[in-house]
């Protein structure tokens, strides 16, 4: 099946670009999914830590309540010893009290033990953060906290929970805090992607994603270079190009060399076809020359009264001349066939080419009593070849002239349409029957009767054997263009040639 006629689903399944887009979407979606998962895990982790710390804080407050009640009569070290026994891991415990006749809180004890200056500095920082304002006058501000502050030692702490305890009109506060780095392996509040456990895998992922995208970009770029090389080779529109020089992927070197070998084989076949056409022409013309030379002495030796013999000699000479013309024509056709296998194409100014060629055609048509109207845009450029385009123009005009009566008009028009050079040849003859129209470009397909032709007999006999429009289509398609035909309303016929434009 022609790849251009594949179904949409087949093209999507086998599309390189679609796979690249899907891969890019996957690579982009993985970080988003991971972010969502890690963010949810971080929230759950924080909730668990805060819940555990809050429970620990409440338990500590309940354990120390008895010590608060007898604080005034107990030995000074009893509270400190109780705190030391209740401390868990790296948790810091601070006990503050606001006496019933006071508006400020005082430090009573802390674990681990610190100096008085340290406690005063820490108290000032807590006042600045607004912690004590949360308690209010009633001292009922029990809550889980997420308050970060830098202690006097320069380390960041998180006040995780505080529990007020009312004893004999005094407000005792049990505050638990911890070093921010000790609550979890990932520092609390730090974006998860900056955590050591995520940062290095993230870097590895990004490097891997970049390598994959680089790989696909490199392959896509190499395919584009192959396509450009193929286009230049097909059009033969510049300096020699090879797939091997265009290739940048070592693993594709063998493929590129095979492509270059195919091109070399194609050019070799073209050269051998031309050589064979010349050799065949020479081989066939040599005996014709011998025949022509041999007839001459026989012709001179004939007596004047031998009319029948002389008539036979004239027929031989006419047959030899006709065979010589046919051999030359076949040689030219074979050489054009060879040229069209791999035609040399270059930017060609069709406007200038037609301005140089059409005056001679115009004069030939005037001799037949027909008029040629020329409508040419200036600087219409196309990738073409003058040797291939010349028989195209000749056959198009000859076909139009064959259906144009004396005094009639033939029009040739050249326009630049988008990136295409558009050539149209119109006549005002009878047109083509609808059942004939699809077949007019077939080889040896001639649908005109001798009575239909308006050309002189000699021209018709030698020029209309069903090859003219076939040559037109063959040459145009060999140049990468296409040719179409249609009937005009109310009468007439138009052939349109479309060629790739050249900037």
pLDDT of 178 reads: 67
Give the helix/strand (H/E) hosting 11: helix 8-13
pLDDT of 110 reads: 81
The answer to whether the beta carbons of residues 60 and 174 sit under 8 Å apart is yes
- What separation in angstroms does the CA of 127 have from each of 98, 115, 131, 156? 14, 19, 6, 16
pLDDT of 458 reads: 37
Instruction: Give φ, ψ of 175 to 5 degrees.
Output: -115, 130
CA 197 to chain centre: 38
Q: Give the pTM.
A: 0.49
Instruction: Give φ, ψ of 179 to 5 degrees.
Output: -65, 130
pLDDT of 464 reads: 45
pLDDT of 412 reads: 95
pLDDT of 52 reads: 75
Average pLDDT per consecutive 10 residues, the chain (503 residues; last block may be shorter): 65 75 80 78 75 79 84 77 74 81 79 78 74 65 55 60 82 76 55 66 81 82 84 69 83 85 84 86 87 84 80 87 85 76 82 93 91 93 88 91 90 92 92 86 63 42 60 88 91 92 78
């Amino acid at each position: 099946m022609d790849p251009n006629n594949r179904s949409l689903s087949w093209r999507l399944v086998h599309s390189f670009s679609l796979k690249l887009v899907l891969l890019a979407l996957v690579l982009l979606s993985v970080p988003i999914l991971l972010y969502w998962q890690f963010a949810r895990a971080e929230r759950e982790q924080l909730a668990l830590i805060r819940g555990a710390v809050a429970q620990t804080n409440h338990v500590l407050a309940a354990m120390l309540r008895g010590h608060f009640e007898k604080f005034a009569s107990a030995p000074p070290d009893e509270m400190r010893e109780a705190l030391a026994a209740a401390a868990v891991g790296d948790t810091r415990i601070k006990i503050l009290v606001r006496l019933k006749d006071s508006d400020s809180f005082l430090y009573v004890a802390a674990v681990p033990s610190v100096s008085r200056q340290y406690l005063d500095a820490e108290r000032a920082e807590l006042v600045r953060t607004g912690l004590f304002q949360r308690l209010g006058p009633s001292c009922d501000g029990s809550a889980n906290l997420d308050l970060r502050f830098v202690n006097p030692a320069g380390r960041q702490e998180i006040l995780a929970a505080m529990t007020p305890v009312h004893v004999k009109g005094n407000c005792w506060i049990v505050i638990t805090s911890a070093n921010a780095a000790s609550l979890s392996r990932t520092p609390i509040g730090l974006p998860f992607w900056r955590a050591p456990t995520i940062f290095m895998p993230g870097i590895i992922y990004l490097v891997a994603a970049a390598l994959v995208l680089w790989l696909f970009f490199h392959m896509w770029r190499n395919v584009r270079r192959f396509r450009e090389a193929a286009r230049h080779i097909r059009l033969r529109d510049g300096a020699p190009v090879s797939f091997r020089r265009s290739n940048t992927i070592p693993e594709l070197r063998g493929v590129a060399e095979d492509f270059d070998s195919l091109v070399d084989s194609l050019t070799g076949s073209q050269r051998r076809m031309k050589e064979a056409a010349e050799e065949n022409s020479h081989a066939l013309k040599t005996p014709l020359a011998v025949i022509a030379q041999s007839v001459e002495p026989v012709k001179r030796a004939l007596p004047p009264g031998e009319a029948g013999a002389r008539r036979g000699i004239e027929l031989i000479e006419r047959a030899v001349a006709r065979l010589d013309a046919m051999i030359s024509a076949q040689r030219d056709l074979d050489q054009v066939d060879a040229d069209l296998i791999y035609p040399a194409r270059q930017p060609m100014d069709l406007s200038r080419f037609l301005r140089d060629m059409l005056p001679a055609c115009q004069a030939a048509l005037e001799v037949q009593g027909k008029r040629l109207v020329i409508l040419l845009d200036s600087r219409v450029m196309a990738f073409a070849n003058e040797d291939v385009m010349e028989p195209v123009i000749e056959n198009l005009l000859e076909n139009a002239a064959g259906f144009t009566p004396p005094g009639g008009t033939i029009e040739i028009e050249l326009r630049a349409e988008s990136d295409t050079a558009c050539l149209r040849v119109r006549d005002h003859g009878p047109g083509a029957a609808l059942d004939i129209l699809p077949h007019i470009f077939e080889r040896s397909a001639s649908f005109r009767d001798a009575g239909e032709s308006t050309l002189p007999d000699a021209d018709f006999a030698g020029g209309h054997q069903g090859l003219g429009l076939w040559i037109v289509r063959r040459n145009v398609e060999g140049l990468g263009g296409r040719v179409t035909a249609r009937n005009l309303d109310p009468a007439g016929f138009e052939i349109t040639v479309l060629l790739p434009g050249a900037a």
